[in-house]
Amino acid sequence: MKKIVSLAFSLMVIAVVSAQTITSPQKTNLVDRASDHFMIELSTDHWANMPDSIGPNQKGFSRGLSVYFMIDKPFKTDPRYSFAFGFGVGNSNIFFQNMELTLNSTGTELPFPANQTGNASATHFKKYKLATSYLEVPLEIRYTAHPETENNSFKLALGIKPGVILDAHTKGKDLLNSNDGVIDDYTEKESSTTFFPTGRLMVSGRVGYGVFSVFGNYQVTSLFKSGAGPNIQFFQVGLGISGL
């Protein structure tokens, strides 16, 4: 984990040094370039390093939505490079089938009870998910090939996202019997951040053209507290929309 964090910081430092030592080939007019903007990320969400007892039960379209307000500051020595910072909220929804998470457990380790296939008395939810929300502070080094016409330019960014957890809850909807018959259409919700670290660190990368980009985010810190659950890493890939 330390090696990954060190690599992320090294890439940012290299980009900063390059921006300060390379002179732009010509004077660039940035009068029409916006210095602040919203950044939206739509993602498919995944867990890495899942134990065999969990992996087969993570099914469905797990997805996330993150929204940030960003400020972009081009380097005077070379406006193709810039430093961007901001704040926002990152949300994730991880879906399960035939498995639940007991967030309100009073134990020290998060239980992942699974429904027993073939058990006539077993009940399960038609839809079940774990939803988490984090307050995040994205920090990025950006490159824009043609900063004077950024909406028609190749762009990329590397950065980190320190975050603080805001909410973690599970939601089960439509209780079914072992034959998938509906027993009750009620919704069950448990909310607790007990098993999650207060903070997390993500490394991020984006590449795109104009206002659209593809991105990847990888959580270098563990999803759960040490001893509270398996050592799982969270990651996302998806589509970004911004003035990057």
CA distance 43 to 219: 14
CA atoms within 13 A on the CB side of 104: 7
Q: How far apart are CA 150 and CA 80, in angstroms?
A: 10
**Res 55: pLDDT:** 85
With a CB cutoff of 8 Å and minimum separation 6, the contacts of 189 are: 169, 170, 171, 172
Residue by residue, pLDDT tens for the chain (244 residues) are 444 445 444 544 444 444 444 444 455 555 556 666 899 999 999 999 998 888 888 888 999 999 999 999 999 999 999 999 999 999 999 999 888 889 999 999 999 887 654 444 467 788 899 999 999 999 999 999 998 888 889 999 999 999 999 999 999 888 877 766 777 777 889 999 999 999 999 999 999 999 999 999 999 999 999 999 999 999 999 999 986 5
User: What does the pLDDT read at residue 213?
Assistant: 95
Burial class (CB in 10 A: 0-12, 13-18, 19+), 202: buried
Q: Which pTM value belongs to this model?
A: 0.82
Taking the domains of the chain in order of start, what are their residue ranges? 2-22+34-241
